[in-house]
Structure formats: structure tokens, C-alpha cells
């Protein structure tokens, strides 16, 4: 086995490109929910708590099912799990066309779209992690850049669709895009390099590289799921993993509504949402690559610090440029977090149960992502302002930053 096929292009980079494009369409559609929130509230006379609640249910389903997705990916590979993801999500979006009651929003978006979405992120990032030892942070950073690119493009695009065709037709368009773009690309995925007669990228150089970098590029340990979740490190990572979606989902769901309250134009607010995703591309790639050199802990610290400070900045934002600056810096920090979790699991817990461990950890992400937007909607409906929710978001992020300062790699499974 070797790292390069006869063409000279390592197939792992095809995996990276395919994963990036699938994340583009799935996350780009999901992270446009905040663009639709004001339309649902106004047209169906629903409160922000109600509409945020459906999104929170979506995130709980996504988080819980990510564990199942990780286990399925470990057994059946990414093509099966991604096919499930794309078909179920598309069906949920198509059903949004006919909603007229709040319970339908909870079922069609919260449960059906949330179920489909749960089979996306973990299979892709777990698969990419298996293809790379050297440059794992870089590969994961490029892969998850699709999330940011999707948000950058599709938030303003969906605002355009809503303006031109209405929000119901816009959901049908999203359903079609998932099927037409996502399914053909998903067939390019392969679970592990041996399916192509290859070795993971850089595995032969791992011993030498571990001496050069700030932390090992690959764990010499191999934790089972049971062994991993019994460690203090897993519990701290869970707290950190719940913290950033608490804030980012609060922002993505409510930023348009928050900005409109200060007389910001709808398209300007939608562009601000898109900029969060666009700036996150740089964070994913730059901080993901930087983490290969300075270590995952330092990279976590940078990411959480940037997000926490900008949440406080948001309290004073009133002009378009202030919202754009928030989106760029906050998005960069948020983007940096995304590739770090699958990378640190490989570094610290090994590859044997990577999908299952990442899937279990993603339950924490689902909890954090569910609480954040629901809390913000409730705070607004009861106080007429988002300020208290924003302050809570900043505190949560500073707490996660503190965890990044004290967390250390686990000992061997026997000692864990």
C-alpha cells in the first residue's frame, strides 16, 4: 500500500472535497433558519419561543442521532449514512411547504429534518480523520469549510428566494438542492484508505513528525467508547462542545431578528448571517492548520476567546458595519472550533471507535445548540430584548475557554 495512486493525487483529498460540498448544502440550508424565522413568526403569527423551540428540537434530534450515525459509519461506511441524511432532510424540507400549525413545524423541521441532519457531520469528519494522520487538522479544516461557505452563500440566497417566491417555495428549492447536489457527490466517499489500496496520509512519517510538532499527530492509544467516556477529558470536551453551539445557534437563529429591531434592512441582516459562515471558512482552515503546530489546546483558547469577546461587542452593535465586524471576528473564532473536536479525538483516543466517540460527544453539541436559541427566544418574548441571552452566551464561552486552559491528554485506556 502507498499514499498515492498512479494519478499522483491522494484520494483522501477527493474525500475532503466531497465532504466539503455535502456540508455546504446541508449546513447552508440549516443555517438559513434564522432567515426564515421572521417570516414564520409574521406569516403564521407564532412567537419567537415557538419557532426557536422547533429549531431546538431539531438540534436535540441531530445531537442524539449523531451517536447512532457514528456507530453506523463505523459499521457500514459514509455512503450509506449520507444517503439516509440527504433523503430524510429533503423530505422534511418538502413538507415545510404545507405547514399551517405549530405541531407540524416541530414534526417536519424539528424531528424529520433534525433526523436527517444527524447523519451528516459525524460520518464525514470521522471518515476524513481516518484518511489522514499528517495534516489531519488541515484536512478537517478544509472539509468543514464547506459549512462556512454554505452559510455565506445560502443565507443571502434564501433571503432572495423568500423575497422573490415566498418562504414556502424556498423550502421546496432547498429540498431539491439537497437531492440534486448531495446524492451524486456522496457516492465518492470511501470509509478508509484500504478500500483504495492506500495508507492514511503521512502515516509512515508519524514517528518523525510527532517529534517536531507541539503535540502528537496521532494517538498511540486505542480507546473503546466505554473507556473514552469514563475519562475526565471526555467530560470536559463535552462541556466545551456544548458551549460553542449554545452561542453560535443563538446567533444564527436570532441575529436577523436582533438586527431588524435596530432598523437594519432584512438583506443586510441576512448578509451578516452569511458573513458568520464566510469568516468561519478562514477559522476552520487557519486555526485547523495552526493546531497541527501549536497544539489543539492553544487553538481552542484562541477560538473561544474571539467568540466570547465578540458576544459582548454585539450588545453595542447598532450600525451595519458593527454587525459585519461582529460576524467576521465571531465567525472566524467559531470556525476554528469545528475541526478541532474530531482532530483531538483522533489524537487522544485513537481510531478504533472514532465515529462512536465523536457521535457520543456530539450529543453535548446537540444539547448546547438546542438550549441557546430557545433561551434567546424566551428571553426576547418575556423581556422585549436579547441582551440577557447575549450576556449568558458570553459567560458560557468564557467558561469553555477556561476548560481549554486546564484540559490534558488522557492516560492509556488501562489507566483511564
Fold that domain 12-191+217-406 belongs to in CATH: Growth Hormone; Chain: A; (1.20.1250)
Query: pTM of the full predicted structure?
Result: 0.78
Specify the pLDDT at position 225: 82
Specify the pLDDT at position 243: 93
pLDDT digits (tens, 9 = 90+) for 27-41: 999 889 989 998 999
Residue 40 to residues 7, 46, 168, 170, 249, Cα–Cα distance (Å): 51, 7, 10, 13, 18
Q: What percent of the chain has pLDDT over 90?
A: 55
Specify the residue for cell string 487522544: 348
Whether pLDDT at 341 is above 80 = yes
Domain boundaries, the chain: 12-191+217-406
Whether pLDDT at 134 is above 50 = yes
pLDDT digits (tens, 9 = 90+) for 96-116: 999 999 999 999 999 999 999
Q: Which residue has the higher pLDDT, 52 or 138?
A: 52
Specify the pLDDT at position 95: 97
User: Per-residue pLDDT averaged across 344-350, rounded?
Assistant: 84
Whether pLDDT at 411 is above 90 = no
Bridge partner list, 2: 198
Sequence-distant (≥ 6) Cβ neighbours of residue 14 within 8 angstroms = 188
- Taking the C-alpha atoms of residue 149 and residue 122, their distance in angstroms, rounded to an integer, is 18
pLDDT digits (tens, 9 = 90+) for 191-234: 888 888 888 877 766 544 444 444 444 445 678 888 888 888 89
Whether pLDDT at 387 is above 80 = yes
- Taking the C-alpha atoms of residue 252 and residue 385, their distance in angstroms, rounded to an integer, is 16
Averaged pLDDT score across all residues of the chain: 87
Specify the pLDDT at position 399: 95
Specify the pLDDT at position 220: 52
User: Per-residue pLDDT averaged across 328-333, rounded?
Assistant: 95
Whether pLDDT at 179 is above 60 = yes
Whether pLDDT at 53 is above 80 = yes
- Backbone φ and ψ of 201, nearest 5°: -60, 125
User: Per-residue pLDDT averaged across 358-384, rounded?
Assistant: 90
Specify the residue for cell string 440549516: 30
Specify the pLDDT at position 165: 95
Cell of 299: 487553538
Whether pLDDT at 412 is above 70 = no
User: Per-residue pLDDT averaged across 315-330, rounded?
Assistant: 95
Specify the pLDDT at position 3: 54
Query: 3-class DSSP state for residue 4?
Result: coil
Q: What percent of the chain has pLDDT over 70?
A: 93
Amino acid at each position: 500500500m502507498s499514499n498515492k495512486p498512479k494519478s499522483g493525487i491522494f484520494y483522501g483529498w477527493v474525500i475532503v472535497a466531497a465532504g466539503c460540498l455535502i456540508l455546504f448544502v446541508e449546513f447552508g440550508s440549516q443555517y438559513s433558519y434564522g432567515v426564515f424565522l421572521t417570516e414564520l413568526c409574521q406569516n403564521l403569527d407564532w412567537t419567537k419561543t415557538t419557532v426557536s423551540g422547533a429549531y431546538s428540537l431539531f438540534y436535540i434530534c441531530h445531537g442524539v442521532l449523531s451517536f447512532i450515525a457514528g456507530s453506523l459509519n463505523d459499521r457500514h461506511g459514509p455512503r450509506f449514512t449520507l444517503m439516509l441524511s440527504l433523503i430524510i432532510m429533503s423530505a422534511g424540507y418538502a413538507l415545510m411547504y404545507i405547514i399551517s400549525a405549530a405541531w407540524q413545524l416541530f414534526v417536519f423541521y424539528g424531528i424529520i429534518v433534525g433526523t436527517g441532519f444527524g447523519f451528516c457531520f459525524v460520518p464525514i469528519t470521522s471518515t476524513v480523520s481516518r484518511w489522514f494522520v499528517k495534516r489531519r487538522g488541515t484536512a478537517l479544516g478544509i472539509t468543514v469549510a464547506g459549512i462556512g461557505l454554505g452559510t455565506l452563500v445560502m443565507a443571502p440566497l434564501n433571503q432572495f428566494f423568500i423575497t422573490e417566491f415566498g418562504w414556502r417555495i424556498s423550502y421546496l428549492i432547498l429540498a431539491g438542492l439537497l437531492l440534486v447536489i448531495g446524492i451524486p457527490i456522496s457516492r465518492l466517499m470511501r470509509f478508509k484508505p484500504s478500500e483504495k489500496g492506500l495508507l492514511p496520509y503521512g502515516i509512515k512519517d508519524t514517528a518523525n513528525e510527532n517529534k517536531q510538532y507541539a503535540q502528537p499527530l496521532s494517538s498511540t492509544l486505542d480507546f473503546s467508547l466505554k473507556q473514552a467516556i469514563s475519562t475526565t477529558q471526555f467530560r470536559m470536551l463535552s462541556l466545551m462542545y456544548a458551549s460553542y453551539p449554545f452561542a453560535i445557534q443563538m446567533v444564527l437563529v436570532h441575529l436577523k431578528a436582533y438586527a431588524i429591531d435596530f432598523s437594519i434592512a432584512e438583506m443586510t441582516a441576512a448578509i451578516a448571517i452569511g458573513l458568520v459562515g464566510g469568516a468561519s471558512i478562514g477559522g476552520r482552515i487557519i486555526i485547523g492548520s495552526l493546531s497541527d503546530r501549536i497544539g489543539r489546546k492553544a487553538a481552542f483558547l484562541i477560538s473561544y476567546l474571539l467568540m466570547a469577546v465578540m458576544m459582548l461587542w454585539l450588545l453595542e452593535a447598532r450600525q451595519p458595519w458593527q454587525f459585519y465586524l461582529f460576524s467576521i471576528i465571531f465567525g472566524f473564532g467559531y470556525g476554528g472550533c469545528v475541526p478541532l473536536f474530531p482532530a483531538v479525538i483522533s489524537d487522544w483516543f485513537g481510531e478504533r471507535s472514532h465515529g462512536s466517540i465523536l457521535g457520543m460527544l456530539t450529543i453535548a453539541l446537540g444539547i448546547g445548540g438546542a438550549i441557546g436559541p430557545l433561551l434567546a427566544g424566551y428571553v426576547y418574548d418575556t423581556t422585549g430584548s436579547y441582551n440577557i441571552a447575549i450576556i449568558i452566551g458570553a459567560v458560557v464561552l468564557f467558561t469553555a475557554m477556561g476548560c481549554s486552559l486546564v484540559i490534558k491528554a488522557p492516560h492509556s485506556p488501562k489507566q483511564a
